[in-house]
Amino acid sequence: MITLVFVVLVLFAVAWPLVRYAAFAISNYRSGELALIREKTGGLGWPVLRGVLTAMAAELIAVATYPLGWFREFGRDGEGTPVVLVHGLFHNASAWSIMLNRLDRAGFHNLHTYQYDSFSKDFETAVEGMEKKLDRVLGARTGGSVILIGHSLGGLVCRRVAGDPKYRDRVAGLMALGSPHKGSDLAWFGGNAMSRGLIPGRSIAEAVAGVPDPECPKLAVYTLVDDFVFPLSMLLPDRPGWEERICSPMGHVWMVYSREVTAMVIEFLRKVGG
**H/E stretch holding 31:** helix 2-31
pLDDT score of 10: 63
Instruction: Pick out the chain residues at pLDDT < 70.
Output: 1-13, 140-143, 274
Cα–Cα dist 241/61, whole Å: 34
Of 222, 268, 225, residue with least CA distance to 245: 222
Host domain of residue 89: 67-272
Whether 248 maps to a domain, the answer reads yes
**Amino acid 69: pLDDT:** 87
DSSP 8-state class, residue 94: G
pLDDT for position 116 = 96
Contact 177, 261 (CB under 8 A): yes
Rounded alpha-carbon distances, angstroms, from residue 19 to 10, 23, 51, 66, 251? 15, 6, 13, 22, 13
pLDDT at residue 33, as a whole number: 98
CATH of the domain at 112: 3.40.50.1820
Question: Is 58 part of a structural domain of the chain?
Answer: no
pLDDT of residue 243: 98
Spatial distance between the Cα atoms of 122 and 17, rounded to a whole number of angstroms: 25
Res 75: pLDDT: 81
Residue 125: in which H helix or E strand, if any?
helix 123-138
CA distance 191 to 95: 22
Q: Is 243 inside any structural domain? A: yes
User: What is the C-alpha to C-alpha distance for residues 225 and 221, in angstroms, rounded to an integer?
Assistant: 12
